[in-house]
Chain A
């Protein structure tokens, strides 16, 4: 098995995860668990493919997907914050609606069942770095990647910095940690949460763009394949901090790449590997839960 190939494919597969998980992490820091990442992703994938297909310009497609995702994130967030909908149910329902609408529109407006292809669709370019491309490991790590990979490289430290060092970041964390106290200090907590919802939707949609305008260059209604939930697992695993979250995505992307490899080689089951992110989250939750419950003074029953 060629390790460089495996590594390169792990990184490619983790780009959509990282984008969506970073969005989810930001939303989580603002106090909302975003179950709708999957829906935002599929929307981004579609819009990205359609706009790139019509304009023949991948950047326009990515931008359109990003903006559509922002609206999508805002819409879902408003239902949670203003209409006081339970975040879990709203998120699950939102996914169902989003997939329903997209599946419906594909058939009713485009007349296709599931897969949408455009003649003029422009995929994202792969950026080869001369010299480095030939270095083992390092070449696989950084050469031949699309622009969204480089966006991730920039985004992770940027978000970590922004959470710490900007007024937006401080207020976002304060709102997520204690909405009542933040509101009593005059913070516009609903607005802050809406902003985080927009970021979550936009980044997750960009993750979708990475799928449709990445290697394949088409849209399929099943192309997210649960990645929104893997992203959810990733930010739970990374405690909603950008770098650990991104590393969790890398790990899960590696599982994914391994699984694809093993499919051709045989041996370990891809289905079992696909459950690893979720098992990891349960383990983390169990750990923290047990540790916390050791402290309470009030007895349970």
Chain B
């Protein structure tokens, strides 16, 4: 399977003069904007068509979405709260993709991580403060890694394609979570199947109460910085990038291919697990059916859109977070089903991986290829 590879060299170059660095960053930012802008534009166009067909004014709706996402401090807080889970999953996806490993299993890690944190968190009533958070989070990390371990081992040791195995493990994890909740952790007196709420001292505190954005966001940002430092400044991160962009070269150079494959897949699971834990302890405070609104898949879209660039990941996560946050409340003001958000997100995801060229150029190239091959 082909994996998109980063086109820009991102290695530390100590001897580079400042002006060159600035220029290079500008060039990179320009390229990223061009690559990422087009899918977003197409998505807006598709959304506009859907809106027009159903008699809505796209300009009005998009305007309303922007104001619902960023209009007031409390709306910004809501946007940041919605940004948090997908920032985690985007980092997880980017982490693996950098090594050329194409996992779609972050969703499963997120779910099982969330359940584990919620269950452990509900038992933390008598546990002293830092431990009462650390224990459920530790459990979440382990659970997230657990979901990834089989695909990781199969890929690293026997070259079994990770895409389908990780996809399957999403469903296995979801089923497992459903069974665990139904059989062991069902809260009494709840309409839908969910666990007990976590103990108060296990909650990740809100950053600016009553807003919902929690310390989880800080953890995610710290993780993003760690991701950036890891890829840029560590030997293993270097090997990630080398293997992701030039696998045969990396084998011939004796880089640690197997280690990288294992760490990439497991790491994505662990990060997904942290995300699920933070979501459970920071926002919803329990695990219930529909715990993850496809956050794992949204993370994939963001990682691809950002071409694995940390700044791009942050911007992408805020963009999607804004859509989610605005979508949840905009229907209070205009008669707009929230599903329009899914249309926009899915379209971005599709066109983040599609190659869009000017049709004429394409035909010309195809003609030349035909001429060359018969």
User: What is the distance, in angstroms, from B204's C-beta to the closest C-beta of chain A?
Assistant: 28
Contact partners of A285 in chain B: CB under 8 A: 154, 160-161, 164-165
Most buried by A among B297, B346, B352: B346
On whether the beta carbons of B342 and A97 are closer than 8 Å, the reply is yes
On whether the beta carbons of B176 and A272 are closer than 8 Å, the reply is yes
On whether the beta carbons of A271 and B164 are closer than 8 Å, the reply is no
Q: How would you classify the secondary structure of chain B's contact residues: helix, strand, loop or mixed? A: helix
Number of A-B residue pairs, CB cutoff 8 Å, is 171
Report if B353 contacts A (CB, 8 A): yes
A99: nearest residue on chain B (CB-CB)?
B342
User: Which residues does A use to contact B, with CB under 8 Å?
Assistant: 33, 35, 79, 82-86, 88-90, 92-109, 183-184, 186, 226, 229, 233, 236, 269, 271-272, 274-275, 278-279, 281-282, 285-286, 289-290, 292-293, 300-301
Which one, B7-15, B84-92, B227-235, B333-341, is touching chain A?
Answer: B333-341
Known: A108-B54, A286-B158, A300-B251. A86 touches B343 (CB 8 A): no
Q: Which residue in A93, A108, A186, A279 is a CB contact (below 8 Å) of B347? A: A93
Contact partners of A233 in chain B: CB under 8 A: 168
Task: Compute how far the CA of A105 lies from the CA of B182 in the bound complex, rounded to whole angstroms.
Answer: 33
The 8 closest A-B pairs by CB, nearest first: A100-B342, A96-B346, A289-B160, A93-B349, A97-B346, A271-B178, A103-B339, A275-B175
On whether the beta carbons of A274 and B346 are closer than 8 Å, the reply is no
User: What is the distance, in angstroms, from A239's C-beta to the closest C-beta of chain B?
Assistant: 13
B104: nearest residue on chain A (CB-CB)?
A88
Q: Which residue in A89, A271, A286 is a CB contact (below 8 Å) of B179? A: A271
Report if B60 contacts A (CB, 8 A): no
Q: Which residue in B256, B352, B356 is a CB contact (below 8 Å) of A89? A: B352
On whether the beta carbons of B339 and A101 are closer than 8 Å, the reply is yes
Report if B50 contacts A (CB, 8 A): yes
Q: How many of chain B's residues have a CB under 8 angstroms from any CB in A?
A: 67
Report if B199 contacts A (CB, 8 A): no
Contact with A along B322-358 (1 / 0, CB 8 A): 0000000000000111011111111111111111100
Q: Which residue in A89, A97, A281 is a CB contact (below 8 Å) of B300? A: A89
Most buried by B among A79, A83, A278: A278
Task: Pick 21 A–B contacts, CB within 8 A, sort by A.
Answer: A35-B167, A88-B1, A88-B167, A93-B297, A96-B346, A97-B342, A97-B347, A97-B350, A100-B340, A100-B342, A100-B343, A101-B50, A186-B374, A269-B179, A285-B160, A286-B160, A290-B160, A293-B157, A293-B158, A300-B159, A300-B251
Task: Compute how far the CA of A94 lies from the CA of B301 in the bound complex, rounded to whole angstroms.
Answer: 12
Report if B207 contacts A (CB, 8 A): no
Task: Compute how far the CA of A122 lies from the CA of B283 in the bound complex, rounded to whole angstroms.
Answer: 45
Task: Compute how far the CA of A108 lies from the CA of B336 in the bound complex, rounded to whole angstroms.
Answer: 7
User: What is the distance, in angstroms, from B37's C-beta to the closest C-beta of chain A?
Assistant: 17
Contact partners of A183 in chain B: CB under 8 A: 373-374
On whether the beta carbons of B373 and A92 are closer than 8 Å, the reply is no
Known: A89-B300, A101-B339, A278-B171. A184 touches B347 (CB 8 A): no
Task: Compute how far the CA of A103 lies from the CA of B341 in the bound complex, rounded to whole angstroms.
Answer: 11
On whether the beta carbons of A104 and B343 are closer than 8 Å, the reply is yes
On whether the beta carbons of A281 and B349 are closer than 8 Å, the reply is no
Task: Compute how far the CA of A110 lies from the CA of B257 in the bound complex, rounded to whole angstroms.
Answer: 54
On whether the beta carbons of A301 and B258 are closer than 8 Å, the reply is yes
Task: Compute how far the CA of A183 lies from the CA of B369 in the bound complex, rounded to whole angstroms.
Answer: 11
Contact partners of A226 in chain B: CB under 8 A: 171
B13-66 residues with Cβ-Cβ distance < 8 A to A are 46, 50, 54-56
Contact partners of A186 in chain B: CB under 8 A: 374
Contact partners of A274 in chain B: CB under 8 A: 171, 175, 178
Contact partners of B340 in chain A: CB under 8 A: 100, 104
